[in-house]
């Protein structure tokens, strides 16, 4: 073949509900406007952006600039936000009027989502479960998984291929740990937690002291653990180090993207959002609702106040007040940063 075909990419692997135009309109509480003769029982075959929609696609229009693209699109149907005006050309298809196309998108995505294909409930014969480990009913233990001495796995939790749960770790209910996740000894994970492939929970913290002979450095033992609260999601190949003593903690509902590094004894509050490749050094505190942009770094032993927002690639070396917005490395108030940068560009720096 030349290069892989893209056509089937958005078709869910299995139907999970009625996907007719009429049914989708009902699903999101839309007002449905259709051209003369349009059959509202027609099935939507894919979801697509306006630019890429085909004649069996449903698309989404949340802003006026996309409405113009809709005029030339073959899309079968469009979910359009209430405040977006449409020309007659744009209305040459089914229009599902909703308050917010963005919000309606979630319900429609859920209808199109393939059922998550987890391992069957039960324990794959190739898994190694220590006799003292406890596996709750309905748990799904995939091939080559290991569960160490005294560890426990909650009801309906799925451990995919090769997941390694070390001694004494405790995983709650309804979690999904993707292939090759590692949960080190005595770490504790709540309910409905999703860990993407390759996530490392409970690695030794990065702590050293001068060695007794004065020539090198000696490892500081890390005897704490990691506590991950309910509804946390952590992206692929991210790492959370265990505490030196006490716990490194990730608060309920917090979402961490791929390739992030969370140092030992960090305490992240509830409902924080950390984008990809963020690093948080040891013992820092992020209060609730903090948002951190991609590749930003947060130094050790500081506190980021509730709801603070840290821009992408920023370097934060000092504590931030609640609600602060910062940019740059070293990070400064976002308005100051923009002013400074604008001045430099105009030659008045």
- The nearer residue to its own copies, 83 or 102, going by C-beta atoms, is 102
Catalytic residue among 178, 180, 222, 264: 264
Identified binder of its own copies from the candidate list 63, 64, 82, 218, rule CB under 8 A: 218
- The nearer residue to its own copies, 23 or 312, going by C-beta atoms, is 312
* By the rule CB under 8 A, 117 interacts with its own copies: yes
Identified binder of its own copies from the candidate list 245, 301, 321, 335, rule CB under 8 A: 245
Identified binder of its own copies from the candidate list 230, 302, 319, 325, rule CB under 8 A: 230
- The nearer residue to its own copies, 231 or 287, going by C-beta atoms, is 231
CA distance 57 to 75: 5
* Residue for token pair 């469009």: 78
Say if residues 98 and 24 touch (Cβ distance below 8 Å): no
* Residue 34 region by backbone torsions, left for phi larger than 0, else alpha for psi between -120 and 50, else beta: beta
Q: How far is the CB of 273 from its own copies (least distance, A)?
A: 7
CA distance 124 to 133: 15
- The nearer residue to its own copies, 86 or 164, going by C-beta atoms, is 164
**DSSP structure class, residue 43:** B
Say if residues 189 and 170 touch (Cβ distance below 8 Å): yes
- The nearer residue to its own copies, 36 or 117, going by C-beta atoms, is 117
* By the rule CB under 8 A, 18 interacts with its own copies: no
Residues 56-115 that bind its own copies (CB under 8 A): 102-103, 105-106, 109-110, 112-114
Token code pair at residue 97:
């009027």
Identified binder of its own copies from the candidate list 126, 301, 321, 323, rule CB under 8 A: 126
Residues 247-276 that bind its own copies (CB under 8 A): 247, 249, 252-253, 255, 257-259, 261, 263, 270-271, 273, 275-276
- The nearer residue to its own copies, 55 or 87, going by C-beta atoms, is 55
Q: How far is the CB of 40 from its own copies (least distance, A)?
A: 22
Cα–chain center distance at 199? 13
Cα–chain center distance at 277? 13
Cα–chain center distance at 341? 32
Q: How far is the CB of 271 from its own copies (least distance, A)?
A: 5
- The reply to whether 264 belongs to the active site is yes
Angle CA 142–148–150, to nearest 5:
120
User: Can you list the alpha helix ranges (DSSP code H) found in the chain?
Assistant: 21-27, 64-71, 101-112, 334-345
User: Can you list the alpha helix ranges (DSSP code H) found in 234-333?
Assistant: none
CA distance 86 to 80: 9
Which distant-in-sequence residues (6+ apart) come within 8 Å of 340 by Cβ? 332, 349
- The nearer residue to its own copies, 71 or 124, going by C-beta atoms, is 124
Q: How far is the CB of 137 from its own copies (least distance, A)?
A: 17
Q: How far is the CB of 343 from its own copies (least distance, A)?
A: 9
* Residue for token pair 């078709």: 11
Per-residue x/- mask for its own copies, residues 146 to 185, rule CB under 8 A? x-xxx---------xxx-x-xxx-x-x-----xxx-x-xx
Identified binder of its own copies from the candidate list 21, 34, 224, 284, rule CB under 8 A: 224
Identified binder of its own copies from the candidate list 24, 279, 287, 308, rule CB under 8 A: 279
Token code pair at residue 1:
């073949």
Q: How far is the CB of 294 from its own copies (least distance, A)?
A: 5
* By the rule CB under 8 A, 236 interacts with its own copies: yes
Token code pair at residue 314:
């920023």
In a 3-state reduction of DSSP, which class is residue 261? strand
Give Cα separations from 271 to 229, 238, 249 (angstroms): 11, 18, 13
* By the rule CB under 8 A, 306 interacts with its own copies: no
* By the rule CB under 8 A, 213 interacts with its own copies: no
Say if residues 296 and 312 touch (Cβ distance below 8 Å): yes
Any idea which residues carry the catalytic annotation?
264
């Amino acid at each position: 073949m030349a290069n892989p075909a893209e056509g089937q990419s958005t078709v869910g692997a299995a139907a999970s509900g009625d996907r007719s135009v009429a049914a989708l309109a009902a699903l999101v509480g839309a007002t449905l406007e259709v051209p003369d003769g349009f059959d509202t029982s027609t099935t939507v075959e894919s979801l697509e952006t306006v630019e890429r929609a085909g004649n069996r696609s449903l698309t989404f229009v949340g802003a006026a600039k996309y409405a113009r693209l809709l005029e030339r699109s073959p899309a079968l149907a469009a979910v359009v936000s209430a405040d977006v005006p449409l020309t007659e050309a744009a209305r040459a298809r089914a229009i599902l009027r909703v308050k917010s196309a963005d919000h309606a998108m979630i319900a429609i995505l859920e209808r199109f989502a393939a059922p998550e294909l987890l391992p069957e409930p039960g324990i794959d014969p190739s898994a190694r479960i220590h006799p003292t480990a406890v596996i709750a009913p309905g748990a799904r233990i995939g091939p080559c998984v290991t569960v160490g001495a005294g560890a426990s796995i909650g009801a309906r939790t799925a451990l995919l291929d090769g997941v390694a749960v070390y001694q004494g770790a405790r995983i709650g209910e309804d979690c999904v740990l993707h292939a090759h996740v590692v949960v080190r000894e005595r770490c504790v994970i709540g309910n409905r937690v999703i860990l993407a492939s390759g996530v490392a929970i409970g690695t030794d913290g990065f702590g050293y002291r001068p060695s007794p002979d004065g020539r090198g450095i000696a490892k500081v033992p890390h005897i704490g653990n990691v506590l991950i609260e309910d509804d946390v999601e952590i992206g692929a190949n991210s790492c959370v180090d265990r505490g030196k003593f006490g716990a490194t903690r990730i608060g309920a509902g917090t979402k961490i993207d791929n390739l992030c590094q969370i140092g030992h004894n960090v305490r992240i509050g509830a409902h924080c959002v950390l984008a990809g490749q963020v690093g948080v050094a040891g013992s820092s505190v992020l209060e609730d609702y903090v948002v951190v942009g991609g590749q930003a770094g947060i130094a050790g032993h500081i506190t980021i106040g509730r709801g603070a927002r840290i821009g992408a690639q920023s370097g934060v070396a000092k504590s931030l007040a609640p609600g602060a917005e910062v940019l740059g490395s070293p990070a400064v108030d976002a308005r100051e940063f923009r002013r400074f940068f604008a001045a430099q560009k105009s030659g008045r720096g």
